[in-house]
């Protein structure tokens, strides 16, 4: 089990991954094949997600997921949730995808991405936030804001209802397993400020 240190009871079920030395204490090592941590679905109108990662190798055939709570569909109006992953077309690019909707239910997906240059062989911290009031979707790397896109102000994140839970270190379809160590996962039901993200990185 991967315990929820917030006390909210969102413990994760570890499948295959093994505990090892993390960035701070222990982290979970995944083999890039089928390891994952399954967590309960956590839907909210806003979100912040952050994690430390140490990638052992790139996957050029599939996306490498740090976190997946996103339902993809050919019809944009059937998409849900959010995800943080490395892109298969460029495995050094990390992307934070969010699907939002307005009061009428019209949905919009945006992805904000950043090229790390080399994402293998070192510890990095990545975080994504979405603020409903402003519509700002932000991506942070090692405590610094690197990219931002906007949704219509007031849009809320579309709840994930098509899957029974969310995944750390793999995709919901089990076709995007991360190869490396993930540590210090943090999920919040609000958009953290730039200072709060920096504080998490520094601490």
| Model pLDDT for residues 73-103, shown as the tens digit of each residue | 999 999 999 999 999 889 999 999 999 999 9
Please report, for the chain, the start and end positions of each structural domain, with discontinuous segments joined by +.
13-202
User: What is the bridge-based pairing of β-strands 90-101 and 107-115?
Assistant: antiparallel
Residue 171 to residues 38, 99, 132, 143, 189: CA-CA distances in angstroms?
10, 16, 25, 25, 21
CB 48 within 8 A of CB 128: yes
pLDDT at 174: 86
Nearest to residue 174, comparing CAs of 52, 68, 48? 68
pLDDT at 35: 86
pLDDT at 4: 40
The token pair at 168 is 């750390």
Give every residue of the chain whose pLDDT is below 70, as ranges.
Answer: 1-11
pLDDT at 11: 62
The token pair at 193 is 């400020």
Indicate whether this model's pTM tops 0.85.
Answer: yes
CATH architecture of 13-202: Sandwich (2.60)
The token pair at 51 is 């994690």
Distance between CA 28 and CA 169 in Å, rounded? 9
Nearest to residue 180, comparing CAs of 7, 55, 24, 62? 55
pLDDT at 10: 52
pLDDT at 2: 46
């Amino acid at each position: 089990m991967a315990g929820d240190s917030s006390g909210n009871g969102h413990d994760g079920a570890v499948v295959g991954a093994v505990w090892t030395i993390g960035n701070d204490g222990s982290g979970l090592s995944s083999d890039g094949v089928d390891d994952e941590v399954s967590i309960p679905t956590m839907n909210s109108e806003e979100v912040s997600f952050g994690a430390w990662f140490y990638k052992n190798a790139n996957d050029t055939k599939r996306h490498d997921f740090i976190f997946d709570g996103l339902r993809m569909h050919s019809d944009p109006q059937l998409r849900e949730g959010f995800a943080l992953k490395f892109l298969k077309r460029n495995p050094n690019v990390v992307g934070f995808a969010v699907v939002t909707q307005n009061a009428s239910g019209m949905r919009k997906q945006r992805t904000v991405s950043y090229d790390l240059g080399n994402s293998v062989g070192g510890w990095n911290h990545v975080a994504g936030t979405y603020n409903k009031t402003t519509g700002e979707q932000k991506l942070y790397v090692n405590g610094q804001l690197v990219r931002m896109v906007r949704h219509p102000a007031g849009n809320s994140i579309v709840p994930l209802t098509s899957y029974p839970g969310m995944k750390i270190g793999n995709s919901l379809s089990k076709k995007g397993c991360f190869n490396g160590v993930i540590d210090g996962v943090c999920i919040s039901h609000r958009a953290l400020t730039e200072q709060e993200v920096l504080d998490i990185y520094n601490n």
